[in-house]
Amino acid sequence: MKLTWQQLRTYAAPSTSKTTKKLFGRPSNNLTSGIVGLANVGKSTFFQAITKSKLGNPANYPFATIEPEEARVIVPSHQLDHLAKLYNSKKKLPAILKIFDIAGLVRGASDNKGLGNAFLNDIRAVDGIFQIVRAFKDTEITHIEGSVDPVRDLIIVQDELILKDMEFIENSLEKLQVQLKHKGNKPMHEISSMENQQEALSIAYDLLIEGQKIINKKDWKDDHIEALNMHNLLTAKPSVILVNVNETDYLNQTNEYLDSIREWTAEYSPDSSIILFSADYETKLNEQAESSQFDTSSALPKIIQEMRKALNLISFYTCGDIEARQWTIRQNLTCPNAAGVIHTDFEKTFINAELIKFDDVADLKPPFDEKILKSKGKVHRVGKTYIVEDGDILHFNAAAAKKK
């Protein structure tokens, strides 16, 4: 059936001609996260819980984890669950998030104490940080600092990341100064790039001196962000603070240290969300569960979603009777970029896409007929400049390729 222009509307989409803010981090849709914290705060127990596996090595002594463990976790999505039922899809394919369990840090890691540089290099390899702090007392579980004090632990970890970034920037600035001093007949664009790097790194260094992370500054210029992204600095990575509490505190959503944690975070890590969880409680839920789905009382779905939010990751969906699938992209990507996640040829030969907003199908029940949506003007045609939004349902049209 051929549709009229009234039935298949052209969506009034935002254009890429409007400048979008540059983001810190790698320009990738496959971003990773690492579990970071002092030794013996529950990192490996959390890793086992979130991955529903026996990976990791929980133990009552420092450095039980030496090499980073890697796992992929399913991204919970009520949208995907709804769409799979709505389209009567034979398969449901969720997105995944790759997570690494990194060895415990100790005070002085930036001077190579404990696992030192190896630990910090492992953090450099990930895109986002789950920072776990212990906020429960248990005489049977050793704390490497001798007492339970979550704010002190947050300070120790952040100080080590700051000190390592300062060392890295000092070395980088020295090299740039030499290069600029002997710039000779270098092209102007190369000189301009080096000068921009020098300026960005100097501003970043001043922030670090004040005990602030690079990502804390909200008015970075885009060219400075691009320059800093070349250096993959530790404090330019987003973080989610996970407060490991006992089962009672988690279920009541209270803890004696919570106010002080919030106060410190507001001043020194304002980009970070704070989530209460209980590694022991999550382990108990895993032992009781028979399915791969998270229990409704689990904190893990929220934890996964908060990391994706911190990494500026969003989801779009492709749906049909064969499969309903959730795809991951970074914010501010155009429709052809999203098509390229499915197959690179789709990006190269992109023509347009049919778009359904999730809100327009959120309250519908199966059986579902897309023709009814079209008759109501709820199916939009979008082109190359459309910026994909979280929850979009897309059908791509590409040259010499079947619609997917």
Amino acid (one-letter) located at 283:
T
What pLDDT is recorded for position 67? 52
Over the chain, what is the mean pLDDT?
A: 87
pLDDT(399) > 50: yes
Bigger pLDDT: 263 vs 145: 263
Residue 162 has pLDDT above 80, yes or no: yes
| DSSP character string of 334-400 | BHHHHHHHH-HHHHHTEEEEEEE-GGGTTT--SS--HHHHHHTT-EEEE-TTPBP-TTEEEEEEETT
Taking 80 as the threshold, does the pLDDT of residue 314 lie above it? yes
pLDDT class of 152 with cuts at 50, 70, 90: very high
pLDDT digits (tens, 9 = 90+) for 266-284: 999 999 999 999 999 998 8
Tokens linked to 230 = 């070349």
Q: Is the pTM for the entire model greater than 0.85? A: yes
Domains of the chain: 32-310 (3.40.50.300)
Span 246-256, mean pLDDT? 96
Encoded tokens for 114: 């404990």
User: What mean pLDDT comes out for the span 39-68?
Assistant: 65
Lowest-confidence segment of 33-37, 140-144, 302-306, 384-388 by average pLDDT = 140-144
3-state helix, strand, coil in the chain (%, to 5): 40, 20, 40
Tens of pLDDT, residue by residue over 15-39, are: 444 457 799 999 899 999 999 998 8
Give the length of the chain: 404
Which range, of 51-60, 79-88, 136-145, 237-246, averages the lowest pLDDT?
A: 51-60
State residue 65's pLDDT score. 41
The region of weakest confidence among 15-19, 62-66, 129-133, 243-247 is 62-66
